[in-house]
Chains A and B, each alone.
Chain A
Amino acid sequence: MTTALNLAQETALVQEVLSQALAKGADFAEIFVEERYRSSLSLLDSKMKDATSGRDFGAGIRAFYGTNAVYSYTNDLSRDGLLKAARTVADAGSTDTPQATVAPFQKVEASPVTQAQIHPLEVPKSRKVEIIKQCDQYARAFDPLIQQVEVNLIEWVQRILVANSQGVLAEDVRPYTRLVVTAIAKDGHEQQTGSEGPGNGQGFEFIESLDLKAISEAAAHTAVTMLKADYAPSGKMPVVIDKGFGGVIFHEACGHLLETTAVAKGASRMCGKLGQQVAHPAVTAIDDGTVANRWGSLTLDDEGRPTQKTVLIENGILKSYMVDELGARKTGYAPTGSGRRESYRFPPTSRMRNTYIAAGDSSLDEMIQSIEYGLYAKKMGGGSVSPGTGDFNFSVREAYMIRDGRIAEPVRGATLIGNGMDILMKIDMVGRDLELAEGMCGSVSGSIPTTVGQPAIRVSEIVVGGRK
């Protein structure tokens, strides 16, 4: 059985498969081969609860007929299996004469942006269990109200091979390591939760670098604070969103609207707006695949293209979209190394990497002081958006009232909503300390690791979905 690694040596087979895909008039063909090792350890009730590991294994073959794409994927990586998948994509064509041939392969070289010093299989499980149990102890010790703690250690290493009829031959090895601590605080008939989940595009050395006590206590702190918190207010008000995962606001309000996934179809509110003022002048926003070791970074994207640092918005002016190969073909914009997919089961499309609002020159104190009545959103949850309308939402996990320019009492989570085209104009103060935070982003090409980020920002007005 061939593996991703072996196929790199079997360029003749790769060429044969691509030629087969081109047999009936496709003008481009691509093969994506993936082998992934994944391990997950979890703890609950202060005991190890689940230990699982496994291997994903498969290939996806894609062909373009102009701007139309055909895709087939399979676990059968034998010569017969690959040729069968290639024939499936070829059969979408209507001529019997190939329009394109496979160019000679040129290996894509790029210095690694993410790599593992310590592969997950090199670490004794006893060490992993020790760390997991330590987190449990720290979280429970924080406050007697903490009645349950769940700790998950998730690791995977993805090896890929991408080759296409333009002569691209690329290999990449991507490590991912993440620790998630979730604490539940209970008081009589109520319970609330808090969670921290740092991750990186690294191996186990990332876990060894973490301050386990700080992470575990932060999760417990959120749970306990929210247990004692009142309901959040309702209505439009100014909001200060803290750094790090606060960047989810940009990810939802704008990020998805700038992917050619939607733009190329004319199904994004940001279509046709290059060079226009789409955000407040305080906003400069970047999508960067080259940040060393980060969760959303990649050496090469899933189309074999080295990633880039792409300036999306500069001082409020729209500068660039995020463009994959098919998006480039449809729009004429240059690809930005943004082609991503969850696995071989999905054709790639343009997606985000590390997406953040760049540091500005305000301070968190200045922002708080500027507000008479509003909300300070300290910890965020996820969100979603409809790129065609720009309507988005994201949730707040830990928040405090701002009264007369000062941080006041804690309030419970609420969802903040708005329309991206409106809200971007209302980000009128941007802080100095940029932080990125890890998450998983879901879209048409599946669920992928990304970071969101920002310094603290002030939004002059947004709807807060509280109960008061």
Chain B
Amino acid sequence: MFSQLLQQAQSRGVRDVELYYEEVDSLKIGAFEGEIETFTQSTVRGLGIRLLKDGGMGYAYTENLALAEQALDEAIANAEWVEAPPEASIGNFEGDLPPLSLYVSALGDVPVADKIQLALNMERLLAAADPRITKVPFSHYGESTHTVRILNNHGLDRSYTSNMASIAVEALVEEHGLHKEHYEVEASRIFQELNAQRIAQKTADEALRKLGARELKSGHYPVVLSDEVFATFIDVFCGVLSGKMVQEGKSLLKDRLGEAIASPLFTLTDDATRPDGYHSRPFDGEGCPSKPLALVKAGKLLHFLHNRQTAKKAGTTSTGHGSRGSYKGILGVSPSNLVVAAGSASHQDLLNGLTPGVLLTEVTGLHAGANLISGDFSLQAQGIYVASGKEQYPIHQFTVSGNFYQLLKDILALGDTSQFHPGSRTAAPEVLIKQLAFAGS
């Protein structure tokens, strides 16, 4: 059906055409108060068309594959309204795909009853972990299998299938009228690696750790970002390394290749070939084979992320970071797995830098409080007040503000472990930052 569509496109005068096809099977199980209260199962698919014709560029998509030809006509009509930049092209990519094993068939063979039991166990264990736990609002098991196939009229036809299972659970806790919450996520392709006891214990511990929280006096403090908080900052601001953002005038890193943009302790790499990453893929959204890319080395900006078009405009070749998001999306640029190189400081070494200061354990409101255009951020946060290198008490009802570019320059030390966590694309260590602005009482 797809080769037919490619031929139809060419017979209508389309110079370059690409088909982006996706299929997703998913399962989601939710336990609540000893029962399975939600159970959702689905199979869906969609087709996206991208094409170049008569100097124009157009897109269309359909979830009704019987209407694929109509979608082709729509993409052709859309192409009349957008002048394709001279660098725009659809073509083949040479090179072998990296060996990546992203699909484990055994996952689908695990009986549904076991998956149901896992969701129920997590909930039961968490609810019983401590009398101050008042509610387990959700306890989920989720699983999905995802197939992507990209074809174009220059001979490219690549596909891959990946799957993943995850568990997530939240606890509400209360003590002396103070209400706190915490949730945790675990993910693996191997069902047996998901552990109800471990996630329940971690969730309970982290939630209870927030009780007795006090307010923080406004001011500038040195701060240790937990590994997950540092990873979140990178997740949110990594768009400034996109060649597309740079060329659109949205990134302050424009014209700064080769310059020192961060502390010499900071090294950042993008690597879609990591077997332990959650965003690994053998090729990008145009079919370009994945390969590691050094973005920042010892504080120096080395490369931007590129797709075929942005690379050509920059006088280089695609770095394998073309992305569509889905068959509905426009071709853009996205990182895959990001790795911040670990340093050598122990957790205590880092805390010793807080005299006093804040150990930041959670930030929220990033979709609204982080500004990629300026690099500014102002975020709701939670953490621990640290003095004389020792944790004193949990703190809450405060914000942390600053500028991402300045933060990178203010890195004083990095922790000795950097690993991926589900829910993030970044493996980052803990980090000691010279100072950030805190607003509280």
Report A's interface with B, CB cutoff 8 A. 1, 41, 44-45, 47-58, 67-76, 88, 92, 125, 129, 147-148, 150, 184, 186, 189-193, 231-236, 262, 265-267, 269, 345, 347, 381-384, 386, 388-395, 412-415, 417-419, 463-468
Report B's interface with A, CB cutoff 8 A. 32, 35-46, 48, 57-67, 71, 74, 77-83, 135, 137, 170, 172, 179-181, 218-219, 248-250, 252, 328, 330, 364-365, 367-369, 371, 373-374, 376, 378-380, 396-402, 437-441
A384:B59 contact, CB within 8 angstroms: no
B369:A55 contact, CB within 8 angstroms: no
B378:A415 contact, CB within 8 angstroms: yes
Q: How far is the CA of A139 from the CA of B416 in the complex (A)?
A: 49
Majority SS at the chain B contact face: strand
Residues of B within 8 A of A190 (CB): 252, 374
Contacting B397 at CB < 8 Å: which of A191, A417, A464? A417
Majority SS at the chain A contact face: strand
Q: Which residue on chain A has the smallest CB distance to residue B249?
A: A148
Q: Which residue on chain B has the smallest CB distance to residue A236?
A: B441
Interchain nearest-CB distance for B179 vs A (Å)? 4
A192:B373 contact, CB within 8 angstroms: yes
Q: A58-B44, A148-B249, A395-B365 are in contact. Are A388 and B181 (CB under 8 A)?
A: yes
Contacting B81 at CB < 8 Å: which of A1, A125, A386? A125
Interchain nearest-CB distance for B396 vs A (Å)? 8
19 residue pairs A–B, Cβ–Cβ below 8 Å: A1-B64, A41-B81, A45-B248, A51-B81, A53-B78, A54-B48, A54-B74, A68-B37, A72-B40, A72-B42, A73-B40, A147-B249, A191-B373, A193-B371, A267-B137, A381-B369, A394-B368, A465-B380, A467-B401
Contacting B32 at CB < 8 Å: which of A41, A50, A70, A265? A265
B63:A418 contact, CB within 8 angstroms: no
Q: A88-B41, A125-B81, A266-B135 are in contact. Are A463 and B398 (CB under 8 A)?
A: yes
A193-B373, A467-B437 given. 15 additional CB < 8 A pairs? A50-B330, A54-B71, A55-B62, A55-B63, A75-B46, A147-B249, A236-B441, A262-B137, A269-B179, A384-B367, A417-B397, A463-B440, A465-B369, A465-B378, A467-B378
B62:A57 contact, CB within 8 angstroms: yes
Q: A50-B59, A50-B330 are in contact. Are A389 and B172 (CB under 8 A)?
A: yes
Q: How far is the CA of A236 from the CA of B396 in the complex (A)?
A: 14
Q: How far is the CA of A1 from the CA of B364 in the complex (A)?
A: 44
Q: A262-B137, A269-B179 are in contact. Are A75 and B398 (CB under 8 A)?
A: no
Residues of A within 8 A of B170 (CB): 388
Q: Which residue on chain A has the smallest CB distance to residue B38?
A: A69
A389:B179 contact, CB within 8 angstroms: yes
Contacting A415 at CB < 8 Å: which of B38, B43, B45, B369? B369
Q: How far is the CA of A464 from the CA of B402 in the complex (A)?
A: 14
Residues of B within 8 A of A193 (CB): 371, 373-374
A57:B63 contact, CB within 8 angstroms: yes
A265:B135 contact, CB within 8 angstroms: yes
Interchain nearest-CB distance for B229 vs A (Å)? 15
B181:A466 contact, CB within 8 angstroms: no
